[in-house]
Amino acid sequence: MVRAWAMRRTMFLLPSDELAVFVRGTTRRAAYHFRHALSRIGSKDKLDKLLDEVLEALKEPRTRSELAEILSKSHGYRLKSKAGGGWGNKRPVPWVEVGKALLPVGWLLHVIAARDVIVSGPGDGSESTYVRADKWVPHWKDLTVEKAERELLVKYLRAFGPSTIQDFALWAGMYVRDAKQIWEREAESLAPVNVEGWRASILQSDVSELMEAELEEPIVRLLPYFDSFLLGHKSHRNIVDERDRKKVYRAQGWVSPVVLVDGRAMGVWSHDQNKSGLGVSVKPFSKLTGPIASQILEEASDLGRFLLCSSVKTTIG
């Protein structure tokens, strides 16, 4: 497994042998950062030179501070310390001066993803390190962008279909016009479906399995904050009833832990761990049947086992 920026340029833990699918497959998002950097610098030659020097430095794991020091001492770039820690963080971070532009050193790691694959290296105290995938991942297997985009779409539809182009664009973190290009290249492999009135698509290879699918008993899962299953569609009608949507998809982008029953959100939950054990609190959106309540207790018990808790107390309601 390896940690890297991929869909929506957020961090994921990914299988190392499939890393190129997820990173090269979302290169279009990194290309937006590249174009923005180019507009600020005004010279492709200067930007390419800077990125070449960043790539050379990242042959070994480097923290952002170390990368900034190399750019300054070895390549003569002037540095400034400014706020820019991300997500409203006002702590000072190094910025590099390129021509008349100032760019955060950490942001260069996103810009460079339009050209190469960068992953997380080992921790260095309180700072993260970053390194080129070809210098870090054993038996590194790269892919062309076009092949990676195709494989990414197939993986997406197998996990989240039925879906639309708009769903795929949101999940991957790209403009709809770019997602449409990828989608249309695979049009012959897709099948249209009608899901309770809304039109979507699935893979042709999944049609027979979907037609024959049956559930012998309810399938219950306790999903954590921001679970990937909850982030695969632009519209959330396939996950939760509209009256309960804001309990799951909350303000400021928060996504609640969800009680999932046969793929639908039937409640939210929370847990509290202390010396006396684990407490799990479930707030259903409506009355739950006995079999579903029993499976919730089993899920909570599994969570306690995973967290090495000697006792688990679960309340529903």
Q: Where are the alpha helices (DSSP H) in 43-144?
A: 44-57, 64-73, 105-111, 133-136
- pLDDT given at position 82: 80
Q: Are 118 and 4 in contact (CB under 8 A)?
A: yes
- pLDDT given at position 147: 97
Phi, psi of 182 (to 5 degrees): -65, -45
If DSSP codes are grouped into helix, strand and coil, which group holds residue 214? Answer: coil
pLDDT tens, residue by residue, 181-202: 999 999 999 999 988 888 999 9
pTM: 0.86
Q: Are 227 and 255 in contact (CB under 8 A)?
A: yes
Q: How far is CA 128 from CA 119, 190, 301, in A?
A: 10, 41, 34
pLDDT tens, residue by residue, 97-132: 998 889 899 999 999 999 999 999 998 777 899 999
- pLDDT given at position 212: 85
Strand pairing partners for 269? Answer: 282
Q: Are 277 and 297 in contact (CB under 8 A)?
A: no
Instruction: Say how far apart CA 80 and CA 212 lie, in whole Å.
Output: 62
Q: Are 171 and 156 in contact (CB under 8 A)?
A: yes
Q: Which residue ranges in the chain fall short of pLDDT 50?
A: none
Q: Are 313 and 279 in contact (CB under 8 A)?
A: yes
Instruction: Say how far apart CA 117 and CA 19 lie, in whole Å.
Output: 9
Chain-centre distance for alpha carbon 291: 33
- pLDDT given at position 214: 81
Q: Are 214 and 288 in contact (CB under 8 A)?
A: no
Please, what are the domains in the chain? 2-136 (no CATH), 145-212 (1.10.10), 220-316 (no CATH)
- pLDDT given at position 89: 59
Kind and range of the H or E run holding 181 = helix 176-185
Q: How far is CA 116 from CA 16, 111, 142, in A?
A: 15, 9, 10
Please give the span between the terminal C-alpha atoms of the chain, in angstroms, as a whole number: 38
